């Protein structure tokens, strides 16, 4: 049953997306994003201590197959938890659920440490997994609704990629806790599980200060709370920066509802957006198959075919985890600048191509343990960025009312299909002891990743730099214009504000036209893009850089007009660039210089653009 309430106009989405980077955003990242570190620790700890749990002196006495059963139960719990908590998250709010799911995880991982029998251990792992699965739905939806659109892609990828920081930490911790010279056989593995609980408690303290999503609040009839939260964030930020935030006029009109029926959510996913659903399934199944197939069997591959000792395997896993972490860290920026479609397809297809090469050379017997790991690291350097982008895709291309459940659904299906078949297939192929059989697993993994990349090419959504409500209009939106958006109180906006908007639009058009002229004349060559990677043009699926950075470029121009030629660091201080977000100041300087809005007089000094320079541009 859907209970409709008032119809309101709100500027909250535009107000949130125009915020400069601040301490508030760091609280969101730290309080919500570090859940992936917990997952990395949990999965790696079980893999690392698995052999110890089969020993008689461990106090648990699992069988060898029981270790694999525990991993499968954890994954199953994550799928169930994602679906269960995901639909609750869309119904009862982000904050309530991300506090509950973290509490479930903390309690369950503590209980795991006190396991006294296999059945108890399995039960504890199920509930630990359910807490983590619920976290995926609550956290990714909340992060996307609180992080500004211009940096949403890179922040999401870095957060999702932090799983591998947890994996590396879990492997390093296992080396210590499994050392019988330090801890007894029946004590060390129990303390290892305590690491996640301690980190979870620290996260809980920070997370309590993260507010409910204002976007969720205004749709569910609590617009006064939403306004108070956004107003508080703006007030804190203005005090922090000493600058007044620019006014926004774009609004959206929504018909509030306290409850949105599940059948309507399902209809949207499979009737309104069927291509987007196919895309998400392809992305999640591909990454889940390749990742789970290799991760759960990496130690077995090393010991079976390269003679690596079990005690040394955690060292290789640390190297593997670092390579995975570097993927989102170094490539994340490009998902906002080059665009979602080219980057997601490139990472999926690129990892597939390298996986094919791995399968070929693996059979040739030309690899050592080190060279085998080197190619594996390259495969997953690309795959980790793509896999993180799968969560980003599911969280931003469906309407807000379905966001958490969409993440949960595609995570659960992808993990159930790819995450279970992958480990089983690779395990059986490795058991044959024949490299040719294992190579088949690499080729299949490459194929499913390639399917994800091809699906992105055909069905990918232009989402870089766009407001969530523009990517997928809320189910509760009331159309007032063809695109469902309108100007709030446009009749009350003064002539000065109208002139300012027209001037801003004219500046953007002029910059884009100058850029196109340079491209047509062949003067614009490949130049270093954000993060040091080459970009030749503004991506087709990204909001033009000239538009995204207009306020920042204008602030730099005003500072130079007032102070004259200024050194880079002083200029950054004058405009408050430290609040713009990671890398934004550097990107703004590059764009403003390239477009002739300012000029560079020396290596570290900038000055106002002169008339001659503008004329040449």
3-state secondary structure of 108: helix
Q: Dihedral of the CA atoms 168, 38, 386, 79 (nearest 10)?
A: 130
Indicate the DSSP class of residue 610.
P
pLDDT of residue 500: 52
**Phi-psi group of 519: left, alpha or beta (phi > 0 → left; psi -120 to 50 → alpha; rest → beta):** alpha
pLDDT of 174 higher than 80: no
Per DSSP, what are the bridge partners of residue 487? 250
DSSP secondary structure of 441-486: HHHHHHHHHHHHHHHHHHH----BT--HHHHS--TTB--SSTTSEE
Cβ pair 352, 446 in contact under 8 A = yes
Q: Give the helix/strand (H/E) hosting 369.
A: helix 369-396
In the structure, what pLDDT confidence band is assigned to residue 379 with cuts at 50, 70 and 90? very high
Q: Which two tokens stand for residue 574?
A: 């004058």
Q: What does the pLDDT average to over 609-616? A: 50
Closest CA to 461 of 354, 541, 380: 541
Cβ pair 347, 454 in contact under 8 A = no
pLDDT of residue 532: 34
Distance CA 360, CA 376 (A): 13
Given CA atoms 577, 582, 585, 591 in this order, what sign does their dihedral have? negative
pLDDT of 141 higher than 50: yes
Q: Which two tokens stand for residue 368?
A: 């050592």
Indicate the DSSP class of residue 151.
G
In the structure, what pLDDT confidence band is assigned to residue 413 with cuts at 50, 70 and 90? confident
pLDDT of residue 544: 47
- Kindly report, residue by residue over 509-541, the tens digit of the pLDDT: 666 666 656 555 544 433 333 333 333 333 444
Top-ranked range on mean pLDDT: pick from 25-29, 80-84, 114-118, 275-279: 275-279
Q: What does the pLDDT average to over 560-578? A: 83
Cβ pair 294, 300 in contact under 8 A = no
Q: What does the pLDDT average to over 98-109? A: 87
Indicate the DSSP class of residue 268.
I
Mean pLDDT is lowest, of 24-38, 304-318, 417-431, 488-502, for 488-502
Q: Give the helix/strand (H/E) hosting 429.
A: helix 403-431
The answer to pTM > 0.85 is no
- Kindly report, residue by residue over 343-365, the tens digit of the pLDDT: 999 999 999 999 999 999 988 87
What backbone torsions phi and psi does residue 365 show, to the nearest 5 degrees? 65, 20
pLDDT of residue 357: 93
DSSP secondary structure of 39-99: HHHHHHHHHHHHHHHTSGGGSS---HHHHHHHHHHHHHHHHHHHHHHHHHHHHH-HHHHHH
pLDDT of residue 1: 45
pLDDT of residue 5: 58
pLDDT of residue 450: 94
Q: Which residue has the higher pLDDT, 596 or 66?
A: 596
Closest CA to 157 of 347, 372, 440: 347
- Side by side, the strands of the sheet bearing 605-608 are 566-567, 605-608, 598-602
Cβ pair 426, 501 in contact under 8 A = no
Collect all residues with Cβ–Cβ distance below 8 Å to 402 and sequence separation of at least 6.
Answer: 90, 265, 268, 269, 475
pLDDT of residue 375: 93
Q: Which residue has the higher pLDDT, 323 or 610?
A: 323
Q: What does the pLDDT average to over 60-86? A: 78
């Amino acid at each position: 049953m859907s209970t409709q309430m008032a119809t309101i106009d709100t500027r909250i989405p535009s107000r949130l997306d125009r915020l400069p980077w601040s301490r508030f955003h760091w609280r969101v990242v730290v309080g919500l994003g570090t859940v992936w570190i917990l997952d990395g620790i949990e999965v790696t700890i079980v893999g690392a201590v698995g052999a110890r749990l089969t020993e008689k002196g461990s106090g648990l006495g699992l069988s060898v197959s029981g270790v694999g059963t525990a991993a499968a139960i954890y994954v199953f719990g994550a799928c169930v938890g994602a679906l269960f908590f995901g639909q609750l998250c869309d119904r009862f709010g982000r904050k309530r659920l991300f506090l509950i799911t973290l509490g479930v995880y903390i309690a369950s991982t503590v209980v795991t440490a006190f396991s006294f029998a296999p059945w108890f251990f399995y039960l504890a792992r199920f509930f630990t997994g359910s807490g983590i699965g619920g976290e995926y739905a609550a956290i990714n939806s909340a992060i996307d609704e609180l992080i500004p659109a211009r940096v949403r892609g890179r922040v999401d990828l870095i957060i999702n990629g932090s799983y591998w920081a947890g994996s590396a930490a879990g492997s390093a911790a296992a080396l210590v806790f499994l050392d019988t010279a330090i801890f007894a056989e029946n004590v060390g593995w129990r303390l290892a599980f305590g690491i996640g609980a301690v980190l979870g408690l620290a996260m809980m303290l920070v997370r309590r200060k993260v507010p409910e999503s204002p976007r969720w609040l205004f749709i569910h009839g609590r617009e006064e709370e939403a306004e108070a939260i956004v107003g508080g964030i703006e007030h804190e930020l203005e005090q922090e920066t000493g600058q007044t935030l620019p006014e926004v006029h774009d609004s959206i009109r929504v018909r509030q509802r306290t409850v949105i029926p599940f059948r309507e959510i399902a209809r949207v996913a499979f009737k309104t957006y069927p291509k987007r659903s196919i895309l998400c399934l392809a992305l999640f199944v591909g990454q889940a198959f390749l990742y789970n197939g290799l991760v759960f069997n990496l130690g077995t591959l090393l010991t079976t075919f390269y003679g690596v000792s079990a005690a040394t395997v955690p060292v290789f896993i640390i190297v593997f985890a670092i390579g995975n972490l570097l993927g989102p860290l170094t490539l994340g920026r490009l998902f906002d600048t080059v665009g979602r479609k080219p980057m997601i397809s490139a990472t999926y297809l690129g990892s597939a191509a390298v996986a094919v090469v791995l399968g070929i050379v693996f059979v040739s017997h030309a690899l050592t343990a080190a060279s085998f790991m080197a190619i594996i690291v390259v495969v997953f350097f690309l795959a980790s960025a793509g896999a993180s982008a799968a969560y980003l895709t599911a969280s931003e291309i469906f309407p807000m009312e379905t966001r958490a459940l969409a993440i949960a659904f595609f995570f659960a299906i992808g993990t159930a299909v790819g995450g279970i078949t992958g480990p089983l297939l690779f395990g059986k192929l490795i058991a044959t002891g024949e490299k040719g059989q294992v190579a088949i697993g690499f080729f299949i993994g490459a194929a499913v990743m390639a399917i994800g990349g091809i699906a992105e090419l055909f069905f990918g959504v232009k989402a870089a730099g766009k407001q969530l409500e523009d990517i997928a209009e809320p189910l509760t939106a009331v159309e007032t214009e063809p695109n469902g958006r309108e100007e709030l109180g446009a009749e009350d906006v003064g002539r000065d504000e109208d002139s300012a908007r027209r001037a801003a639009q004219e500046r953007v058009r002029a910059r884009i036209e100058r850029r196109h002229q340079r491209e047509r004349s062949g003067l614009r060559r490949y130049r270093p893009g954000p993060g040091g990677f080459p970009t030749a043009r503004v991506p087709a699926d990204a909001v033009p850089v000239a538009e995204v950075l207009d306020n920042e470029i204008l602030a730099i121009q005003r500072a130079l007009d007032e102070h004259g030629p200024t050194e880079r660091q002083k200029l950054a201080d004058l405009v408050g660039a430290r609040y713009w977000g990671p890398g934004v100041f550097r990107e703004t300087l590059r764009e403003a210089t390239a477009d002739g809005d300012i000029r560079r007089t020396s290596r570290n000094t900038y000055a106002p653009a002169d008339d001659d320079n503008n004329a040449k541009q």
